[in-house]
Amino acid sequence: MPRRFRATATTLAIVMVVATVSAGCGGSATPATPTAPEAPRSGLDQAGFDRGVRPQDDLYQFTNGTWLRNNQIPPDQAEVSTFSTLAQRSEENQRALIEAAADPGGDKTSVDASQASNARKVSDMYASFMDTATLDRLRAIPLAADFAAVDRLANQADLVRYLGEIQRIGVSNPIGLGVGQDDRNATAYITEASQSGLELPDRNYYLSTDPKFVAIRDKYRTYVATMLKMAGLPDPDGSASRILDLETQLAKAQWTNVQLRDPLAGYNKFAVADATVRAPGLDWSAYLDAAGFKVPELLIGQPSFFTALGTLLSSVSLNVWKQYLKWHLLADAAPYLSLDFVATRFDFVGKVLSGRQQDRERWRRGVAAVNSAMAEAVGQLYVQRYFAPDAKQRMERLVGNLIEAYQHSIDTLDWMSPATKSQAHDKLSKLSAKIGYPAKWRDYSKLEISRTDLIGNVRRAAQLAYQRAVDKLGKPVDRDEWEMSPQTVNAYYNPTMNEIVFPAGILQPPFFDVTADDAVNYGAIGGVIGHEISHGFDDQGRHYDGTGNLRDWWTPEDAQRFTAKTSELVQRYNSFSPLPGTHVNGELTLGENIADLSGLTVAFRAYQASLGGKLVPMLDGFTGDQRFFLGYAQIWRAKKRDEALRQSLLTDPHSPGLFRTNGVVNNLDGFYTAFNVKPGDRMYLPASDRTRIW
């Protein structure tokens, strides 16, 4: 898989700076009576605890049971969780900023010309989305020129060129084309191609014989036919069946999500001429020329898929390909068309695939549309209003301290040889961290936004992003670039940059609370920082060295011992069943499970080290060590609809929150000591069965 940015939601903090409130001196001549410093808040949401459950039997339920009972999934959501709650709060803040952006100086804030221009474009983009009267009048008219262009395709060569042309405007098709760092030369950019082209969430939706997926395919066929008919396209029922058949053939050729996790198998560099030889029917030179790429070579993530695609481009009739292309043009545009298209799309994508009962409020979808077009323009407004500079400074100190804790942890490993430890130290010393927001903001000066042309706005934004990527080729790698916007409630590790990134959106309670007790912050934001650092040493990240190059720096013996330990996690997570008849995929989720376990392990050590041997007072009836684990458990509280959960089990590399808690903490000896967990308790694992990696 050419680009693998790991977007997760965990953090680890070391040497947290605690904000305590002290009594000041009075202003009179008589000294005020000294008072004891006020104890810090614990940071625990005890109202969400279920006191009828013992933490020794189920830490997740003890910490979150009452919250789970009292919080219902909103009808317009697929889940309710810590993340969704913060994300909705972020949307509300962004809405206020966007609606105020029409008058960027109205709040008396000093803004430069570029900010004022961006603010106007943000406001106009939002207005074009909210203008449903214009959209209802236009219906599918904005796609008429696209449909006509498809109709003009006369042969297979035209088809290949067209696939290249539509890359420029971001229309989905079987080829995912982009620019990224060369995994074996991380100082240079290279053109990358990866498998794509399915409208359903995963290949298993097309191939599984499970009655649930068979029923979804039937509903999908009906959905496609309905949308084609609404757009005035001919033979909607027959076209829908042929489109489903073609997508099924593409699905059969695609690699599984587990296969996509192998960075070595996904690195395949070809000269353009050789790539064409490997995929007869797909003229890569003509395709890349139409896409605007003048390159001698490219990385192909899944060569066997493109061999099959070449065959399909030649063997499937041009008429069927035209129907497929029109469908994907329509499916991509549906969120930006008239309300009847939006409603029909929701009935399938929202209800059938995710189990949601009603669509999200239009303004929330409008905020998302603005973010898709101009995320960093919104982000610049967001951090000015909602992100305090001292939070960035504090996080920088925490990350630095945690990296130091990892350096000490490497020295204690009994399964890693000195030679590999030396390389691990080198990689960790070169790890960089980005906190809050980018050092420089993206330039949107060339982006044209109209208040009355929503589809045009979407296309022009896609074209700008695409050209920005193309323009990277031949230039030094931009190490200031971010892959998430500041307002995002998430975090990630990028292996070719060897960097961890924490947007401002996640740096708020319950992840990061400067007024709370150290222990809870170590368990929460500490677990996340450690998680992201650990991705550099998980089953994927370990293949990259300190400079971001795909290189084997492990001794064979160390690699074998590491694989043996991670195999334990695969088997354990394979046994977890979140729904009757379903199981977590231990191979798909392995990287995240390693990061959860390793990150929390080092976070706990960091917390212990920060105490310097001092005793920690009880807060809210819990010891410091107990608060650490409770702080970790409460960030994973989540309820998800069955339909959405089934989808995530197939596509999401993260395990459900229950197992990110209980499946992790009972591998740490500190958990047993903190809660006096003994044989017979449900959370108990014999010492010999506990997986210890870091």
Measure the CA–CA gap between 330 and 144, rounded to whole angstroms. 10
Residues 6+ apart with CB under 8 A from 82: 510, 511, 634, 635, 636, 637, 638
Measure the CA–CA gap between 618 and 621, rounded to whole angstroms. 6
pLDDT of residue 516: 87
The CA-based angle 40-44-50, given to 5 degrees, is 145
Q: Which residues pair with 189 in a beta bridge?
A: 181
Evaluate whether residue 260 is within a structural domain: yes
Count of domains for the chain = 1
pLDDT of residue 141: 97
CA torsion sign, 71 to 76 to 78 to 84?
negative
The CA-based angle 89-64-78, given to 5 degrees, is 50
Evaluate whether residue 282 is within a structural domain: yes
Structure tokens at 540: 């994927």
Evaluate whether residue 658 is within a structural domain: no
Q: Which helix (H) or strand (E) holds 484?
A: none
CA torsion sign, 136 to 137 to 142 to 148?
positive
Q: What is the 3-state secondary structure (H, E, C) of 242-270?
A: HHHHHHHHHHHHCCCCCHHHCCCCCCCEE
Place of tokens 């003509």: 286
Place of tokens 């790539």: 275
Mean pLDDT by 10-residue block, N- to C-terminus, for the chain (694 residues)? 34 27 29 47 95 98 98 97 96 96 57 78 97 98 98 98 97 97 98 98 97 98 98 98 98 98 98 96 97 97 98 98 98 98 98 97 98 97 90 84 91 95 97 96 96 97 97 97 97 98 95 89 94 97 97 97 97 97 97 97 93 92 97 97 97 98 98 98 97 93
pLDDT of residue 115: 72
Confidence (pTM)? 0.91
pLDDT of residue 663: 97
Cα-to-chain-centroid distance, residue 442: 20
Q: 156-165 and 318-333 are packed helices; what angle lies between their axes, rounded to 10 degrees? A: 20
Measure the CA–CA gap between 563 and 597, rounded to whole angstroms. 15
Structure tokens at 342: 């939006």
Evaluate whether residue 194 is within a structural domain: yes
Q: Which residues pair with 499 in a beta bridge?
A: 432, 494
What single letter denotes the amino acid at residue 342? V
Residue 336 three-state SS: helix
pLDDT of residue 221: 98
Picking from 89, 95, 84, the residue whose alpha carbon sits closest to that of residue 367 is 95
Evaluate whether residue 279 is within a structural domain: yes
Q: Which helix (H) or strand (E) holds 406?
A: helix 389-412
Q: How far apart are the first and last CA of the chain?
A: 27
* CATH number of the CATH domain containing 287: 1.10.1380.10
pLDDT of residue 17: 26
Structure tokens at 274: 């050789």
Backbone angles phi, psi at 297, to 5 degrees: -150, 165
User: Helices (H) and strands (E) in the chain — how many of each?
Assistant: 27, 10
Evaluate whether residue 502 is within a structural domain: no
Residue 555 three-state SS: coil
Cα-to-chain-centroid distance, residue 5: 8
Evaluate whether residue 161 is within a structural domain: yes
Evaluate whether residue 237 is within a structural domain: yes
Domain that holds residue 157: 143-336
